[in-house]
Chains A and B, each alone.
Chain A
Amino acid sequence: MALQRVLRQFLPVLLLGAVLGAAVYATRGARLEPADFVFNNGTEVQTLDPATVTGVPEGRAIRMVYEGLLVSHPETLAPLPGMAERWEVSEDRLSYTFHLRRNALWSNGDTVDADDFMWSFERFLDPRTAAEYAYMLWYVTGARAFTTEVEDGRPRNSFDTVGIERLDRWTLRFQLEAPCPFFLELMAFYPMFPVCRRAIEDMQARFPDTWEKEWLRPENIVCNGPYTVKFRRVNDRIRFEKNPRYWDADSVAFETVDMLAAESYTTSLNLYLTGECHWIDVPPANVIQELRSREDFDPIPYLGTYFYRVNVTRAPMDDKRVRRALALTIPREDIVETITKAGQVPAYTLVPPGIAGYGGASMPRNATFEEDLAEARRLIEDAGYGPGGKEFPTVEIHYNTSDAHRDIAEVIADGWAKHLGIRAKLANQEWKVYLDTQSNLGYDVSRSAWIGDYADPNTFIDLFVTGGDNNKTGWGDPRYDALVQAANLEADPVKRFELMSEAEAVLMEELPILPIYYYVTQSTYSPRLGGYFANVKDEHFPKFWYWMDDEELAAKRASYPAENFERVKTSGPPKGLYPPADPRSRTDSKAGKRKVVRTTEGD
């Protein structure tokens, strides 16, 4: 029983030691000083590797630390010089030449040159990198073959077959297969951002097994963007620190930025309301009503559409009269007014508004909703259902588990029952199961949404070509395919948009999808935040951010329209925080504020 006695004496000591050890370890990072700017990114990012990343939160993180050939204007999203200081487009719009700036450095001091870009693009397209967005670069000659033709796990073709060419140390040329009107916009899209070849190769040599993770660790990652990574903890935050070697560092105001990964909308709002966070992208739905009257919440149209896919391989939805009847009966106004509430707009097209120059085509409607309903009833009777006809089978509305989707489905099911006598039942599935069911056409009607990757109708129109990966409706129409094909080959932008509109008209006549509403942005941010603009992609660019001083804030408030701009408490320093290049930058206040942030963080 000696062991027992020993245990009796040492167990409490051991336990106490373990608790203290855990306490020290678990609170490391607590001594990080508060950051100049904190925003909630809504979830933990999948990776900081620009090549293998997809998703809005990931894009925000990538733009903090890397910069591509081009960057986007914070408001209009038009391409601006980034790593490339100028560029030329050939007459036939098939060849793009980029001239790199010579003062661009990596955060380790190396120069960013054409070799880094060549290597990064090769890596991005290489099948072994397994980049989800690789197809975005398939507009370049040979790129598709390079990614998809695999032999022994390696690309069969050499990278020389791809139309990306290094003309000299500072010049790159891209050769396209067909004109791509948004190619410049694409070059400002985060998967196209470069990585530091030498840094990664160093890591490959040092850690032959684990280099794929090693080069991304905060202490190893080499960046060419406005910030570098200081500290990272999964499901907590990424602490960014200003990159002093960034070519435009004088335009960057914040020394430190925290990107949080809080998933709960309520918690996110709580953090915002207590001033611990200065920008949140989505507030909880139940407070939107109250937020709408405030100056810090000003939704604008967002490049996304909420719609239902219809499985056209199943009767009776294979009949386009039935699909049109279903589309006409959706009570869109009720949905945006009583459920989504943030100012969403009822949708009658696939492509959302906000793409300059694109007319689009709406599904044909009658003068009033009542007439729509009457037409819908006629269509159902014409199709042979209803009184005197066959009984309409029960329709299943399929959606991924979420209260908002359920509420919308209930309103729609109710509308179909009331106006058409069609019984609809709701079927929710967990996200990944739902995706699986949708891809395998295991549904009748399925909730869907699409957010545009770039401000061009192609990002939506391209979805529904026959057999497209993201079609998922079983629908196809040679007329549609021909129009999309013609538009893709059309060099004249005006004609191209006309062709796209014609394609959309076909889609809205056939209705393999039932449009419901267009999204709006829901960003809520401290009114003191400067350099921040609402835009159709809800994309924001850290290099332009700064804190306004009281004077500028007052001027901004004076320019508000009369309604819905109730003043709220602002977070951020009353003296403002401007980039060094700005004449309003106060060096005196900075002396106190800009102490070098030191933490006891070991790694």
Chain B
Amino acid sequence: MLRFLFRRLVWLAITLLVVMSVSFFLMKNVPGGPFDGERKLDAQIEANIQKKYHLDWPLWRQFAHYVGPFNLDDERALLASGDGGLVLWRSELAEGEPTTAFGGVLAGDFGPSFRYKDFTVNDILAQSLPISMLLGVLSMMFAIALGVSAGIASALRPGSGIDLSLRLAATAGIALPNFVIASFLVIVLVFMLPLLPVAGWGTIRHMLLPGFCLGLVFAAYIARLTRTGMLETLSADYIRTAHAKGLSSRTVVMRHALKGGLLPVVSYLGPATAGILTGSLVIERIFFIPGTGSHFINAATNRDYTLAMGVTILFTVLVYVLNTVVDMAYTLLDPRIDLEDE
């Protein structure tokens, strides 16, 4: 298990490095910059801004400064000569001048946001990530509860009316985009029956509608996976043995079949969680939720280089960690799988 974790960690580092370099250079190659607006700026003012945000540096230096761990800022860094070049040691460090040797992602600093100038990327992620996670967990709990029970109900009586209607509902859930469902629910639950707040973030009542809409499509997938998994498990020999031993069918399903039947669902949870986190953009917009999903897109359109990089790195780590957790959960559910064999 430890060797497995270590190996995963090494791969995470490699993945991150690749993701960082590719997205950094891709982004810098897209036309337009963070400070371009309807009003074109005077050349000197534009140069002043570029300088302030180090956009006048060659790309390699911007990248090295961004990744760290050495801070390459002209004013304060140990490695800067003060006139734009790099030196091995800052030669003429004035008396009492503060220096900042370390910086960049490797030092845990994602830099200042170019768009939201009052915040660092760290601030923004720290504010929005818990909100997205909470929303994600809520919709995931919802998706699992609904999906698994529907899947089991379907699998117990395949071909029955219940099975058919649940499968139909699941297909509809997959086919309907969540903003359609959201609009429909807003009309019914906010304007026709004033039960829930229309948008915003704060109390648990604010989370119900977005959580439901976000989870619905995943509930549908989970229902289908559960059904397939359960059908397969229910026909397995050990289930027949359990029945033969005289266990009640409730015990057989809940204690024996479910464990095996849920394996496909567990493997789906990793990608599903990633999907919920990155796919919450539309729901965040409709329900006016200050989560990370909207930064994922807005930072790119605003050319907020640092924020876009920060969100990308964060999501890479999250997806990677979640997949690892899922793999570990596998071994807990299925004794036939051993991580050391990988």
Contact A26 B130 (CB under 8 A): yes
Query: Which among A127, A132, A234 is the interface contact of B116 at CB below 8 angstroms?
Result: A234
Q: Assuming A262-B199, A276-B198, is B117 touching A47 (CB within 8 A)?
A: yes
Q: Assuming A127-B44, A132-B45, A274-B190, is B39 touching A470 (CB within 8 A)?
A: yes
Q: Is A436 an interface residue (CB 8 A)?
A: yes
Q: How far is the CA of A152 from the CA of B83 in the complex (A)?
A: 7
Q: How far is the CA of A131 from the CA of B197 in the complex (A)?
A: 40
Q: Assuming A235-B294, A431-B301, A435-B38, is B128 touching A46 (CB within 8 A)?
A: no
Q: Assuming A8-B332, A46-B116, A260-B288, is B98 touching A135 (CB within 8 A)?
A: no
Closest to A232 in B: B118
User: Which of chain B's residues have a CB closer than 8 A to the CB of A449?
Assistant: 38
Minimum Cβ distance to chain B for residue A123 (Å): 13
Interface segment among A17-25, A310-318, A371-379, A587-595: the answer is A17-25
User: Which of chain B's residues have a CB closer than 8 A to the CB of A274?
Assistant: 190-191, 194, 197-198
Contact A270 B186 (CB under 8 A): yes
Contact B186 A150 (CB under 8 A): no
Q: How far is the CA of A128 from the CA of B190 in the complex (A)?
A: 50
Contact A264 B131 (CB under 8 A): no
Closest to B33 in A: A432
User: Which of chain A's residues have a CB closer than 8 A to the CB of B197?
Assistant: 274, 276
User: Which of chain A's residues have a CB closer than 8 A to the CB of B128?
Assistant: 234-235
User: Which of chain B's residues have a CB closer than 8 A to the CB of A209?
Assistant: 76, 98, 100
Contact B40 A472 (CB under 8 A): yes
Q: How far is the CA of A536 from the CA of B76 in the complex (A)?
A: 47
Q: How far is the CA of A135 from the CA of B39 in the complex (A)?
A: 12
User: Which of chain A's residues have a CB closer than 8 A to the CB of B331?
Assistant: 4
Q: How far is the CA of A44 from the CA of B198 in the complex (A)?
A: 20
Q: Is A54 an interface residue (CB 8 A)?
A: yes
Tell me which residues from 115 to 164 in chain B have a Cβ below 8 Å from any Cβ of chain A.
115-120, 123-124, 127-128, 130-131, 133-134, 137
Closest to B285 in A: A264
Q: Assuming A26-B130, A432-B33, A469-B41, is B137 touching A150 (CB within 8 A)?
A: no
Q: Is A122 an interface residue (CB 8 A)?
A: no
Q: Is A236 an interface residue (CB 8 A)?
A: yes
Q: Is B303 an interface residue (CB 8 A)?
A: yes
Q: Is A586 an interface residue (CB 8 A)?
A: no
Query: Which among B31, B37, B204, B288 is the interface contact of A433 at CB below 8 angstroms?
Result: B31
Closest to B204 in A: A27
Q: Is B201 an interface residue (CB 8 A)?
A: yes
Query: Which among A22, A129, A270, A433 is the interface contact of B134 at CB below 8 angstroms?
Result: A22
> Digit string of A425-467 for contact with B (CB within 8 Å is 1, else 0)?
0000011110111010000000001100000000000000000
Q: Assuming A47-B117, A430-B301, A436-B36, is B44 touching A150 (CB within 8 A)?
A: yes
User: Which of chain A's residues have a CB closer than 8 A to the CB of B117?
Assistant: 46-47, 49, 52
Q: How far is the CA of A182 from the CA of B198 in the complex (A)?
A: 44
Q: Assuming A30-B203, A128-B48, A213-B119, is B288 touching A267 (CB within 8 A)?
A: yes
Contact A234 B199 (CB under 8 A): no
Query: Which among B100, B118, B203 is the interface contact of A27 at CB below 8 angstroms?
Result: B203
Closest to B124 in A: A234
Minimum Cβ distance to chain B for residue A52 (Å): 6
Q: How far is the CA of A433 from the CA of B33 in the complex (A)?
A: 9
Contact A432 B303 (CB under 8 A): yes
Contact B45 A134 (CB under 8 A): yes
Query: Which among B37, B52, B194 is the interface contact of A54 at CB below 8 angstroms?
Result: B37
User: Which of chain B's residues have a CB closer than 8 A to the CB of A234?
Assistant: 116, 119, 123-124, 127-128, 290
Q: How far is the CA of A185 from the CA of B117 in the complex (A)?
A: 27
Tell me which residues from 151 to 200 in chain B have a Cβ below 8 Å from any Cβ of chain A.
186, 190-191, 194, 197-200
Q: How far is the CA of A65 from the CA of B248 in the complex (A)?
A: 70
Q: Assuming A127-B48, A209-B76, A439-B40, is B119 touching A433 (CB within 8 A)?
A: no
Contact A270 B199 (CB under 8 A): yes
Closest to B202 in A: A30
Q: How far is the CA of A212 from the CA of B112 in the complex (A)?
A: 10
User: Which of chain B's residues have a CB closer than 8 A to the CB of A47?
Assistant: 116-118
Q: Is A208 an interface residue (CB 8 A)?
A: yes
Q: How far is the CA of A66 from the CA of B302 in the complex (A)?
A: 27
Interface size class of A (residues with CB under 8 A): 35 or more
Q: How far is the CA of A129 from the CA of B33 in the complex (A)?
A: 19
Tell me which residues from 142 to 160 in chain A have a Cβ below 8 Å from any Cβ of chain B.
147-148, 150, 152-153
Q: Is A130 an interface residue (CB 8 A)?
A: yes
Closest to B82 in A: A152
Query: Which among B120, B124, B131 is the interface contact of A26 at CB below 8 angstroms?
Result: B131
Q: How far is the CA of A271 from the CA of B2 in the complex (A)?
A: 51
Q: How far is the CA of A52 from the CA of B53 in the complex (A)?
A: 13
Closest to B292 in A: A235
Contact B116 A435 (CB under 8 A): no
Q: How far is the CA of A232 from the CA of B124 in the complex (A)?
A: 11
Q: How far is the CA of A135 from the CA of B45 in the complex (A)?
A: 8
Q: Is B28 an interface residue (CB 8 A)?
A: no
Q: Is B254 an interface residue (CB 8 A)?
A: no
Contact A147 B288 (CB under 8 A): no
Q: How far is the CA of A236 from the CA of B128 in the complex (A)?
A: 10
User: Which of chain B's residues have a CB closer than 8 A to the CB of A130?
Assistant: 45, 48-49, 51-53
User: Which of chain B's residues have a CB closer than 8 A to the CB of A436?
Assistant: 31-32, 36
Tell me which residues from 267 to 283 in chain A have a Cβ below 8 Å from any Cβ of chain B.
267, 270-271, 273-274, 276
User: Which of chain A's residues have a CB closer than 8 A to the CB of B124?
Assistant: 234
User: Which of chain A's residues have a CB closer than 8 A to the CB of B328?
Assistant: 7
Closest to A471 in B: B40
Closest to A272 in B: B198
Minimum Cβ distance to chain A for residue B145 (Å): 14
Q: Is A29 an interface residue (CB 8 A)?
A: yes
Q: Is B212 an interface residue (CB 8 A)?
A: no
Q: Is B24 an interface residue (CB 8 A)?
A: no
Q: How far is the CA of A23 from the CA of B48 in the complex (A)?
A: 42
Q: Is B35 an interface residue (CB 8 A)?
A: yes
Closest to A21 in B: B130
Q: Is B319 an interface residue (CB 8 A)?
A: no
Q: How far is the CA of A267 from the CA of B294 in the complex (A)?
A: 15
Partner-A contacts on B (CB < 8 A): 1-2, 30-33, 35-45, 47-49, 51-53, 74, 76, 83, 98, 100, 112, 115-120, 123-124, 127-128, 130-131, 133-134, 137, 186, 190-191, 194, 197-204, 285-288, 290-291, 294-295, 301-303, 328-329, 331-332
* Other contacts beyond A22-B137, A46-B115: 9, CB < 8 A: A23-B134, A25-B130, A47-B117, A132-B41, A213-B120, A270-B199, A274-B191, A436-B31, A437-B31
**Interface CB pairs A-B, < 8 A, 18:** A46-B115, A48-B118, A54-B39, A127-B45, A127-B51, A128-B52, A134-B45, A209-B100, A213-B123, A235-B294, A235-B295, A264-B288, A267-B286, A274-B190, A433-B30, A439-B40, A450-B38, A469-B39
4 cross-chain pairs, A with B, having the tightest CB-CB distances, nearest first: A432-B32, A30-B202, A236-B290, A47-B117
Partner-B contacts on A (CB < 8 A): 3-4, 7-8, 11, 19, 21-23, 25-27, 29-30, 32, 44, 46-49, 52, 54-55, 127-132, 134-135, 147-148, 150, 152-153, 208-210, 212-213, 216-217, 232-236, 260-264, 266-267, 270-271, 273-274, 276, 430-433, 435-437, 439, 449-450, 469-470, 472
